[in-house]
Amino acid sequence: MVKQSKYQDFRVYNTVYVSSTGHYSFRVSFTENGKKTGRDYDYGLYYPLRRNYPRYVTSAVELEIAKLLKSGEAKFYEVDRDGNRRYEGLRYHMPELIPSMIKSLEQKP
C-alpha cells in the first residue's frame, strides 16, 4: 500500500498582490491531511509560506506559480490608500522581472 502525501492538490490563484515595497504575494491553496487550507506565498522571503513546510510543499507551490506566470494569466493588483484594488496604472509591478522570477522559481531544488 502506497502512503499518500500529507500535502496535496496545490493550486495558485491568478490574482497577485504587489506591495509598495515591490514584493509579490500569491494566494495558494492545498489540502493538508485531507483538509483544504490557504496561504499567501510571498516571493523572495526566506519562509515564503510564513510557516516552515516540508521542502516538497514549497517546491510544488513554486512550480505552480511559475506555470501561472508563464501562462500570462496572472492579474497583478495594488491597493491604494483607500483600500481599493487597482489593476491598471500599477506603480510597483515591474513586468520585466517576470522572466527572472520564473527562472528562479523553476531552479529551486
Domain of residue 12: give its range. 7-107
Alpha-carbon distance of 20 to 105, in angstroms, equals 22
- Which band of pLDDT confidence, cut at 50, 70 and 90, is reported for residue 52? confident
Is the model's pTM score more than 0.85?
yes
Q: Is residue 1 part of a domain?
A: no
Helices (H) and strands (E) in the chain, counts: 2, 5
Q: Is residue 94 part of a domain?
A: yes
pLDDT tens, position by position, 23-34: 899 999 999 999
Residue 73: count of CB within 10 angstroms of its CB:
9
Report how many domains make up the chain: 1
pLDDT tens, position by position, 63-103: 999 999 999 999 999 999 999 999 999 999 999 999 999 99
Q: Is residue 2 part of a domain?
A: no
Contact 10, 60 (CB under 8 A): yes
Helices 98-107 + 55-71 axis angle, to 10: 150
Q: Is residue 92 part of a domain?
A: yes
Q: Is residue 21 part of a domain?
A: yes
Residue 24: count of CB within 10 angstroms of its CB:
22
